[in-house]
Structure 1
Amino acid sequence: MADEEFGDPRLAALYDRLEPGRGDLDAYLRMAQEFGALRVLDIGCGTGVFALLLAARGVEVVGVDPALASVEVARAKPGAGKVRWIHGDATALPPLRVDLATMTANVAQAITGPCAWRGTLRGAFGALRPGGRLVFETRDPAARAWEGWTRERSRRVTRVPGAGSVESWVDLVAVDGPLVSLRWTYVFAADGQVLTSDSTLRFREREEVGRDLAACGFAVEEVRDAPDRPGREFVFVARRP
């Protein structure tokens, strides 16, 4: 199920304005070029930022996401006609033969259930051509990122054209083993509306992810560091033999 910030039409429409800094995607663009990917499956494409960056470079892209509101935002963007958009998830994809599958940002961690996680990995495997790669990131649990998820550290006010000022912050709700729950709050100055979005992320150990990939047929080629977050993320590069 998609979080409210992706599934609620008002929040989905503002997502790119509220989260403008996407320098994390630069590494994925470089890897697509490094691997010579001409066809890419963007799992958890959201509002389509990464998919459209790829399409603008002449890459054939399929973007899939379970949040319809986010997919509709993506479909309305300039250049969206170059991307094949799918409302759904990686467990029920049409026949594909891509060179690269990606899960950027929090996508891998947002898939918390073991069955859904294995289904996603199997779906990515089936969508890849032999020799194709799956690339995704997941936070290193040892870095304890959730300790910084407080209102004091995250609060900001964003001026959004046509919508006015939007105040937002995140609160840590619970830590239950590998599961970390948080709540985003959005306050719209224009009409006083307050919206919240609850999320749960799964923090997987490096060895656990390696085992899961191997169980789904992948060969782990490399585990890289995230250039913009050194020492805090695992970036897995796994190949379909």
Structure 2
Amino acid sequence: MLHAEFHDPRLVTVYDAECPWSREDDFFLSVVNETPGSQVLDLGCGTGRLTLGIAAASHAVTGVDPARASLDAARAKPGAGRVVWVEGTSSGLPDTSFGVAVMTSHVAQFFVEDDEWARTLADLSRSLLPGGRLVFDTRDPLDRRWERWNPVDSGRQITLPDGAVVTAWTEVTAVRDGTVSFTHHYTFPDHYTFPDGEELLSTATLRFRSEADIRSSLHNAGFRIEHIYGGWNREPAGAGDGELLVIARA
């Protein structure tokens, strides 16, 4: 299944267990907190980890995601009543409503086609107040992160809330024209009996845009870039963690 870790409730639970609060969330929350009491949009909010953290920091926040299973998990968490949850995409965003918009967990890379990415940026520009900030992360293609997505380097064990341990690894299936296709493999313990077997798969294709491409696309959408960092401690691009951490203004 495409992006099954967001759409299959069995794998949503695994995703939540594998992805607790981290320094990445600290980075995004610190940027949001630079605009106190703002109306915040979390586009591609998933299971709501950062969304709920933003709400707990006294911001009014709207979480938008197309994956119902992920939103169901988000809505069941403590504090979820503080958030406006919306099942949808950027096309349904209201005009001039948010002081800050965030896209985290490399959501920007899910927009594979250039026209889809351009439409998303245009929607975000439309939804932000004048001078509102857009903050997102995308992997720097110069870091060639996908070369570590193999059975040895990507192998991991994930402990679920019930104590069961899921074994996971990632397999790259194609690299072409700035895109990387891959499959996540998840093997559940024997006592999990699924009609489709003990191993569940999630497929995806991500776009790795260069810093120059990011700058050009933001300029075309009417954004002014404030910073592009290379790491979660705000190192310059090309240093740090192999990321492109973007802060721009509408």
Alpha-carbon separation, structure 2, partners of 1:41 and 1:119: 17
Which runs of structure 1 show a deviation greater than 4 angstroms over 4 or more consecutive aligned residues? none
Q: Are 1:206 and 2:197 an aligned pair?
A: no
TM-score between both structures, scaled by the size of structure 2: 0.90
Alignment match, 1:56 = 56
Q: Please list every run of 5 or more consecutive structure 2 residues that lacks an aligned counterpart in the other structure.
A: 234-238
Q: Would the alpha carbon gap of residues 159 and 235 (structure 1) be closer, same or farther in structure 2, given more than 3 Å must change?
A: closer
Q: Are 1:188 and 2:188 an aligned pair?
A: yes
Structure 1 residue 25, shift from structure 2 partner:
0.9
| Contact kept? 2:165, 2:188, Cα under 8 Å | yes
Amino acid at match of 2:60: E
Spell out, residue by residue over 1:170-201, the C-alpha distance to the aligned partner (whole angstroms, 9 max, x if none).
Answer: 11111012000111011110226211001111
Instruction: For residue 236 of structure 1, give the secondary structure of its aligned residue in structure 2.
Output: strand
Amino acid at match of 1:39: Q
Q: How does 1:1-241 map to 2 (within 5 A)?
A: 3-20=3-20, 22-36=22-36, 38-95=38-95, 97-162=97-162, 164-189=164-189, 190-191=191-192, 193-227=198-232, 230-240=240-250
Structure 1 residue 15, shift from structure 2 partner:
1.6
Q: Would the alpha carbon gap of residues 227 and 200 (structure 1) be closer, same or farther in structure 2, given more than 3 Å must change?
A: same
Alpha-carbon separation, structure 1, partners of 2:17 and 2:40: 25
Amino acid at match of 2:143: A
Alpha-carbon separation, structure 2, partners of 1:143 and 1:150: 16
Instruction: For residue 51 of structure 1, give the secondary structure of its aligned residue in structure 2.
Output: helix
Spell out, residue by residue over 1:5-56, the C-alpha distance to the aligned partner (whole angstroms, 9 max, x if none).
Answer: 1011111133211223532111111111123351110011000000000101
Alpha-carbon separation, structure 2, partners of 1:221 and 1:2: 34
Alpha-carbon separation, structure 1, partners of 2:130 and 2:151: 46
Structure 1 residue 66, shift from structure 2 partner:
1.2
Alpha-carbon separation, structure 2, partners of 1:132 and 1:104: 17
Instruction: For residue 222 of structure 2, give the secondary structure of its aligned residue in structure 1.
Output: coil
Amino acid at match of 1:236: V
Q: Which has the larger displacement, 24-33 or 34-43? A: 34-43
Q: Please list every run of 5 or more consecutive structure 1 residues that lacks an aligned counterpart in the other structure.
A: none
Aligned residues: 240
Alpha-carbon separation, structure 2, partners of 1:21 and 1:174: 31
Q: Would the alpha carbon gap of residues 195 and 210 (structure 1) be closer, same or farther in structure 2, given more than 3 Å must change?
A: same
Please, what is the CA RMSD of the aligned residues?
1.8
| Contact kept? 2:40, 2:62, Cα under 8 Å | yes
Alpha-carbon separation, structure 1, partners of 2:19 and 2:227: 29
Instruction: For residue 208 of structure 1, give the secondary structure of its aligned residue in structure 2.
Output: helix
Report percent identity of matched pairs. 40
